[in-house]
């Protein structure tokens, strides 16, 4: 049980609702900021404004998957208000508090480092990113089916990048009967793709490799689908860019050429928020129950340890 632990959610999306339910079920004290437009009722939850007082009580601060933008603004799917997490607010957190996000931008990293606050980026963990790649890949397939007039089976698909999302997506496409090519940068990735029965090529040769593609999935967070490359992409092709904003595609030139190009970051929160939320909740609960290795416990707080510290401070 998490009795006595104060957890504050600042912003977020549908994924965070599953986390909130998990924490309240374990008797934590949960406060949410930026949820005033949420249509469903959250039981045993305190709805708050962004104030110094609520942050002073926080043992844990949970931010959206992207944390903040480059100026400290925090996004919430359930509020039209501007949430700004600046140094003045962050300095109100207790010294033992932990800040959780998916991926942190330099603004948040620098602010936490300056104030000596522990920042944990969940998506830097391989296990979280691999689990999360499943709803991401399924969402990408859903978009491909919605925006094409052909089947995945038999289509000529190209996956750019063979990281955690690229591996999952390429495997799904292969099992659905697509002809899959994958663009890689490293020899070991080339070898892995070949071992999987996927046709590999180096992304430096993308200009020549994209001439017959029906569907292109980009996972590379760099400007890879340039105007030069797009001149060789067929007009009927569709590009689904899964990289974080602004993506890796020249969207202006794609539109000019009549190529449908869609930017689709954060798909898990859109297509499978309950599953994505359960992934995070299960991970955090497993840390508390001691099922993770000691290295992971060094990176993440133990809920039991945090609760003991909270009770000590209150006494």
The secondary structure of 56-74 as a DSSP string is HT-SEEE--TT---TTSEE
Query: For residues 17 and 57, is the Cβ–Cβ distance under 8 A?
Result: no
Residue with tokens 């996004």: 75
pLDDT value of residue 47: 95
Which residues pair with residue 76 across a beta bridge? 12
Name the DSSP letter for residue 12: B
The pLDDT of residue 285:
62
Torsion sign, CA atoms 129, 124, 67, 241:
negative
Q: What is the reported pLDDT for 276?
A: 80
pLDDT at 153: 98
Which has the closest alpha carbon to 313: 100, 119, 95? 95
Encode the chain (315 residues) as per-residue pLDDT tens digits: 788 899 999 999 888 998 898 889 889 999 999 999 998 888 899 999 999 999 999 999 999 988 999 999 999 999 999 999 999 999 999 999 999 998 899 999 999 999 999 999 988 888 888 988 999 999 999 999 999 999 999 999 999 999 999 999 999 999 999 999 999 999 999 999 999 999 999 999 999 999 999 999 999 999 999 999 999 999 999 999 999 888 999 999 999 999 999 999 778 777 777 788 877 777 666 544 443 333 333 333 444 444 444 444 444
Q: Do β-strands 29-33 and 45-48 pair in parallel, antiparallel, or remain unpaired?
A: parallel
Cβ neighbours around 281 below 10 Å, total: 19
pLDDT at 244: 83
Strands in the chain per DSSP E = 6-10, 29-33, 45-48, 60-62, 73-74, 83-84, 98-101, 118-121, 156-160, 179-184, 199-202, 215-218, 238-241, 260-263
Q: Which two tokens stand for residue 203?
A: 């992304």
Sheet strands side by side (includes 98-101): 45-48, 29-33, 6-10, 60-62, 98-101, 118-121
Cα 265 to the chain's mean position, in Å? Answer: 8
The pTM for the full model equals: 0.74
The C-alpha atoms of residue 183 and residue 118 are separated, in whole angstroms, by 36
d(CA 207, CA 127): 34
Q: Mapping DSSP to helix (H, G, I), strand (E, B) and coil, where does residue 221 land?
A: coil
- The answer to whether the Cα torsion of 130, 131, 133, 138 is positive or negative is positive
């Amino acid at each position: 049980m998490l009795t006595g632990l104060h957890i504050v959610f600042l912003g977020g999306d549908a994924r965070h609702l599953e986390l909130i339910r998990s924490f309240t079920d374990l008797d934590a004290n949960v406060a949410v900021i930026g949820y005033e437009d949420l249509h469903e009722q959250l039981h045993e939850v305190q709805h708050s404004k962004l104030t110094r007082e609520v942050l002073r009580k926080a043992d844990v601060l949970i931010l959206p998957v992207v944390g903040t933008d480059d100026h400290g603004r925090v996004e919430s799917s359930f509020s039209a208000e501007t949430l700004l997490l600046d140094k003045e607010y962050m300095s109100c957190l207790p010294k033992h508090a932990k800040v959780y996000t998916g991926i942190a931008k330099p603004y948040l990293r620098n602010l936490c480092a300056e104030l000596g606050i522990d920042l944990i980026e969940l998506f830097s963990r391989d296990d979280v990113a691999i689990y999360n790649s499943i709803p991401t890949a399924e969402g990408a397939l859903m978009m491909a089916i919605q925006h094409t007039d052909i089947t995945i089976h038999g289509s000529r698909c190209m996956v750019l990048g063979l990281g955690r999302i690229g591996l999952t997506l390429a495997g799904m496409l292969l099992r659905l009967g697509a002809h899959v090519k994958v663009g890689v940068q490293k020899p070991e990735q080339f070898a892995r793709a070949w071992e999987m029965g996927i046709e590999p090529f180096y992304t430096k040769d993308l200009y020549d490799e994209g001439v017959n593609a029906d569907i292109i999935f980009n996972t590379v967070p760099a400007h890879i689908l340039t105007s030069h490359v797009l001149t060789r992409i067929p007009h009927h092709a569709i590009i689904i860019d899964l990289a974080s904003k602004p993506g890796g595609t020249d969207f202006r030139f794609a539109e000019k050429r009549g190529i449908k190009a869609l930017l689709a970051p954060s798909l898990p929160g859109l297509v499978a928020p309950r599953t994505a939320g359960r992934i995070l909740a299960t991970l955090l609960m497993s840390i508390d129950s001691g099922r993770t290795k000691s290295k992971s416990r060094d990176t993440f707080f133990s809920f039991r340890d945090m609760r003991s510290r909270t009770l000590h401070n209150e006494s």
